[in-house]
């Protein structure tokens, strides 16, 4: 028997599931390990807004007792998960990163939170978010270098998962808010097809662009959460009735090298030199492993994507915030305030034109995707930028938040300064299984494992 065991806090979700259900790991020990990790790092990283320690030990003990009685609530039994502070949690503060809601305690759970709990998971706590999931930074720092941003808006979720404070966390993406912080922190970020996961009980930013996503340390973990959280929800009329693919089957099919489309247009000219060089090296590794790589011809509508995204986000954010903004203008921080102020002025015809181009782009991308298992781009235009006044740019995620195609980022290495870089893979609509298979294949082919040493 191996003597030295990995500290439980550093296990992936898949491994936690195995060890807990085989009674090799107690939920109480796991909880202690995670809270110890949080004690060690939270002061300098500031990933969390709310952690209710007393309740956590109670819940972990309860899970442990159930296991001893042979009772397993669901696949995530006893596994603590971080929840971005824009998801409603019944009886637990939900601030949306805003002063206005600093004492707001919802009396119901967001659908995804309810599904997590239903699967046996424990809500470890609420992770820091930018204000209303837009651009005004959370206090969170990047675990690879505290003077750099962890990205946003799912800042706390990214930093917490990267450092073993929790194995996985919920995030949300309207522009680049799941995959960018994941890439900046060296972990996996995933968002599904638009309409695949319910946004009921989540502070909206822009409802035709908002996606719920997750931050994990492996593709397999993202697939596990997808299996639990996806599917139609009557409470969110935008969720789709499309059947959810079998994620286990899809991971097994990950032995076949994928047909990868590299997107050079826009991404080449907007990537820092080191980023593009690193991406080219990564592509070479994937080719050597057998990946079939071709350059993608992007459709005409691609050139309008950033502008169209901005118009839709501004108008819908303004529509949601309008009344609140009238009463609490002074409590809005500058970036979200400007978003709402400009959004209030944009004519409806501009909004409708933007929505029309959005639909066109999706239709054109649906056709492009017929030829590939996934598209590949650098995950971000640069490594995590220095400074905490900005959370970086969302440009590289925007086309997929706009089109609603599923996307996943995986870490691919460190730059010269020891900061993480990654790639973003984009899949066909409603075919998340195929995307997970491609991402798992790349993950294995690249065999990069990043873990910051933030002590």
68 versus 345: smaller Cβ distance to a second copy: 345
**Rounded distance, CA 389 to CA 159, Å?**
17
What strands, in cross-sheet order, belong to the sheet with 407-414? Answer: 48-50, 122-127, 80-84, 168-173, 211-216, 188-191, 407-414, 420-426, 374-378, 259-262, 292-295
Q: Which residues, numbered 258-317, are part of the site for a second copy (CB under 8 A)?
A: 315-316
Pick 403 or 424: Cβ nearer a second copy: 403
> With binding defined as CB under 8 A, does residue 52 bind a second copy?
no
Regarding 442 and contact with a second copy (CB under 8 A), the answer is no
Closest by Cα among 23, 18, 122, 117 to 70? 23
Residues that contact a second copy, how many (by CB under 8 A): 16
Least distance (Å) from a second copy to the CB of residue 208? 10
- Catalytic-labelled residue, pool 26, 98, 154, 177: 177
Q: Is 206 annotated in the active site? A: no
Write the burial class of residue 91 (CB in 10 Å: 0-12 exposed, 13-18 middle, 19+ buried).
exposed
Question: For residues 308-325, b (16+ Cβ closer than 10 Å) or e, as one string?
Answer: bbbbbbbbbbbbbbeebb
What is the per-residue DSSP string for 403-431? H---EEEEEEEE-TTS-EEEEEEE--TT-
Q: How many CB atoms lie within 10 A of CB 337?
A: 18
70/237 with CB nearer a second copy: 237
Determine if the peptide bond prior to 452 is cis (ω within 30°): no
User: Is residue 147 within the footprint of a second copy (CB under 8 A)?
Assistant: no
What letter would DSSP give residue 396? Answer: T
Is 271 assigned a catalytic role?
no
CA pair distance 397, 404, nearest whole angstrom: 11
d(CA 208, CA 339): 16
Of 40, 304, 346, 446, the residue at the interface with a second copy (CB under 8 A) is 346
What is the smallest separation between the CB atom of 348 and a second copy, expressed in angstroms?
4
Q: Does 352 bind a second copy (CB under 8 A)?
A: yes
Which residue from 91, 118, 139, 347 is in contact with a second copy, where contact means CB under 8 A? 347
Phi, psi angle pair for 97, to nearest 5°: 70, 15
Which CB, 82 or 343, lies closer to a second copy? 343
Residue found by looking up tokens 């032995």 in the block: 255
Name which of 280 and 352 has its Cβ closer to a second copy.
Answer: 352
Residues 353-382, one symbol each (x = binds a second copy by CB under 8 A, - = not), give: x-----------------------------
- Distance of closest approach, residue 238 Cβ to a second copy, in angstroms: 12
Ranges within 307-336 binding a second copy (CB under 8 A): 315-316, 318-319, 322
Closest contact distance (angstroms) between CB of 337 and a second copy is 15
Is the CB of 343 or the CB of 392 nearer to a second copy? 343
Which of these is catalytic: 84, 117, 126, 434?
84
Q: Which of 88, 351, 372, 400 binds a second copy (CB under 8 A)?
A: 351
Query: Among 289, 344, 360, 450, which residue interacts with a second copy (rule: CB under 8 A)?
Result: 344
Task: Return the residue of 288, 300, 349, 370 that touches a second copy, per CB under 8 A.
Answer: 349
**Which structure tokens are listed for 170?**
């919920």
CB of 72 to a second copy, least distance (A): 39
Report CA 214 to chain centroid distance, whole Å.
4
Nearer to a second copy, 236 or 316 (CB): 316
Beta strands 292-295; 259-262: pairing state: parallel
Please state the closest distance from residue 342 (CB atom) to a second copy, in A. Answer: 11
Q: How far apart are CA 212 and CA 173, in angstroms?
A: 6
Give the span between the Cα atoms of 209 and 268, in whole angstroms. Answer: 25
- 177 has catalytic annotation: yes
Nearer of residues 202 and 315 to a second copy, judged by Cβ: 315
30 binds a second copy per the rule CB under 8 A: no
Beta strands in 136-224 (DSSP E): 168-173, 188-191, 211-216
Q: Does 345 bind a second copy (CB under 8 A)?
A: yes
DSSP run (H or E) holding 294:
strand 292-295
Closest CA to 123 of 164, 158, 88, 75: 88
For position 343 contacting a second copy by CB under 8 A, the verdict is: yes
Q: Catalytic pick from 26, 33, 98, 153? A: 153
Q: Candidates 138-146, 152-160, 173-181, 337-345: pick the segment binding a second copy (CB under 8 A).
A: 337-345
Q: What is the binding site for a second copy (CB under 8 A)?
A: 315-316, 318-319, 322, 343-353
Point out the residues that are catalytic: 84, 153, 177
């Amino acid at each position: 028997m191996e003597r030295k065991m990995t500290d439980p806090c550093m296990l992936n979700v898949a491994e936690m599931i195995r060890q807990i259900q085989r009674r090799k790991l107690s939920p109480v020990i796991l909880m202690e390990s995670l809270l110890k990790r949080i004690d060690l790092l939270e002061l300098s990283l500031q990933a969390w807004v709310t952690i209710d320690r007393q309740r956590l030990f109670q819940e972990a003990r309860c899970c442990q007792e159930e296991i001893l009685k042979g009772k397993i609530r669901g696949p995530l039994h006893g596994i603590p998960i971080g929840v971005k502070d824009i998801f409603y949690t019944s009886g637990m503060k939900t601030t949306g990163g805003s002063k206005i809601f600093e004492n707001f305690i919802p009396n119901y759970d967001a659908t995804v939170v309810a599904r997590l709990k239903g699967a046996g998971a424990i809500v470890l706590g609420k992770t820091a978010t930018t204000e209303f999931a837009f651009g005004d930074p959370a206090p969170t720092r990047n675990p690879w270098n505290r003077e750099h941003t962890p990205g946003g808006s799912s800042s706390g979720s990214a930093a917490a998962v990267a450092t073993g404070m929790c194995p996985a966390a919920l995030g949300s993406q309207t522009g680049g808010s799941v995959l960018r912080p994941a890439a900046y922190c060296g972990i996996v970020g995933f968002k599904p097809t638009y309409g695949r996961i319910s946004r009921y009980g989540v502070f909206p930013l822009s409802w035709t662009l908002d996606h719920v996503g997750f931050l994990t340390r492996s593709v397999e973990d993202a697939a596990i959460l997808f299996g639990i959280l996806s599917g139609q929800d009557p409470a969110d009329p935008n969720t789709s009735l499309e059947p959810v693919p079998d994620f286990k089957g899809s991971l097994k099919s990950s032995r076949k090298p994928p047909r990868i489309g590299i997107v050079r247009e826009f991404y080449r000219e907007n990537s820092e030199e080191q980023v593009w060089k690193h991406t080219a090296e990564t592509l070479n590794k994937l080719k050597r492993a057998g990946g079939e790589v071709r350059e993608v011809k992007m459709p005409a509508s691609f050139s309008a994507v950033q502008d169209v995204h901005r118009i839709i986000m501004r108008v819908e954010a303004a529509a949601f915030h309008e009344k609140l903004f009238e009463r609490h203008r002074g409590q809005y921080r500058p970036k979200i305030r400007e978003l709402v102020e400009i959004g209030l002025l944009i004519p409806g015809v501009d909004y409708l034109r933007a929505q029309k181009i959005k639909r066109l782009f999706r239709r054109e991308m649906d056709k492009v995707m017929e030829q590939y298992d996934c598209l590949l781009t650098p995950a971000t235009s640069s490594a995590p930028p220095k400074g905490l006044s900005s959370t970086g740019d969302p440009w590289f995620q925007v086309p997929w938040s706009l089109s609603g195609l599923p996307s996943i980022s995986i870490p691919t290495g460190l730059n010269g300064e020891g900061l993480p870089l990654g790639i973003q893979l984009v899949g066909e609509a409603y075919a998340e299984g195929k995307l997970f298979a491609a991402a798992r294949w790349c993950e294995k082919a690249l065999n990069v494992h990043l873990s910051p040493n933030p002590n």
